[in-house]
Amino acid sequence: EVQLVESGGVVVQPGGSLRLSCAASGFTFDDYTMHWVRQAPGKGLEWVSLISWDGGSTYYADSVKGRFTISRDNSKNSLYLQMNSLRTEDTALYYCAKDGLTTLDYWGQGTLVTVSS
Amino acid sequence: QSALTQPASVSGSPGQSITISCTGTSSDVGSYNLVSWYQQHPGKAPKLMIYEVSKRPSGVSNRFSGSKSGNTASLTISGLQAEDEADYYCCSYAGSSSVVFGGGTKLTVL
């Protein structure tokens, strides 16, 4: 059974930094591209970033480019999102999702990041 | 990376059929047969319902179907049931390894 468990979400002040983690199990982690998707309270889904199976290619939404960094450790079956220069508009539930080659087929339950002074 | 356009809400009575539209551009929906649909109940993670425009993952009811014409994709739910009440999001590959979601549609079963 595919499981994705996010962690690391907390309350942080504007301008602060945070690293989110996603622990994966139930599939061969290093075979798949992985994504981060976020959802602001009461709002829709917003794609944030993706990383290729080997970490060699990364892509970002314009809204986070230059501030967020996606990475992975295949030896630990883990995905990460380093978030710097956080803004109030980054407040959201952050999901990690597995790429099923043509879709995001499995999602975690999310971890909540609140940016507030 | 503009969001795909979905109606904010749709509604239907049990047993009826409803269709949710998802309008993009020639750079996303119109260029790729890589449209997916997700169902999200309150407080839950999104669940994949349709991928590659019209394919259903194992375990998803055949009451859910998808289609595409030009820059607009559609999700149809037939034989509406109470448990179908949820938010629905479309999603498309948008080139340059980016993904774009629709704004979401709240389905109310009357």
Q: Do B104 and A45 touch (CB under 8 A)?
A: yes
Chain A contact present for B97, CB below 8 A? yes
pLDDT at A63 exceeding the cut of 90: yes
Give the residue carrying structure tokens 């994504």: A35
Minimal Cβ distance to A44: which of B47, B51, B101 = B101
Paired with B4 in beta bridges are: B102
Q: How many CB pairs under 8 A join A and B?
A: 59
Q: Are B45 and A110 in contact (CB under 8 A)?
A: yes
Contact A44 B89 (CB under 8 A): yes
Express as a percent the part of chain A with pLDDT over 70: 100
pLDDT at res. B2: 80
Per-residue pLDDT of chain B (110 residues; tens, 9 = 90+): 688 999 999 999 999 999 999 999 988 999 999 999 999 999 999 999 999 999 999 999 999 999 999 999 999 999 999 999 999 999 998 877 789 999 999 999 99
| Shortest alpha-carbon distance between residue A100 and chain B (Å) | 10
Q: How far apart are CA B72 and CA B29, in angstroms?
A: 7
- Asked if the Cβ–Cβ distance from B38 to A44 is below 8 Å, we say no
Please report the pLDDT score of residue B1 as a whole number: 65
What pLDDT shows up at residue A100? 87
Mean pLDDT of A97-103: 90
Residues 6+ apart with CB under 8 A from A27: A2, A98
Measured torsion, CA atoms of residues B105, A108, B83, B93, in degrees rounded to the nearest 10: 40
**Residue B41 confidence (pLDDT):** 97
Q: In this structure, is the dihedral angle defined by the CA atoms of residues A113, A115, B2 and B4, taken in order, positive or negative? A: positive
Give residue-wise pLDDT tens across range A17-55: 999 999 999 999 999 999 999 999 999 999 999 999 999
Query: Is 80 exceeded by the pLDDT of residue A58?
Result: yes
Both structure tokens of B8: 């904010």
B72 contacts: CB under 8 Å, gap ≥ 6: B21, B22, B23, B24, B29
**Nearest CB to A108; choose among B45, B89, B98:** B45
With a CB-CB cutoff of 8 Å, which residues 50-89 of chain B face chain A?
A: 51-52, 57, 89
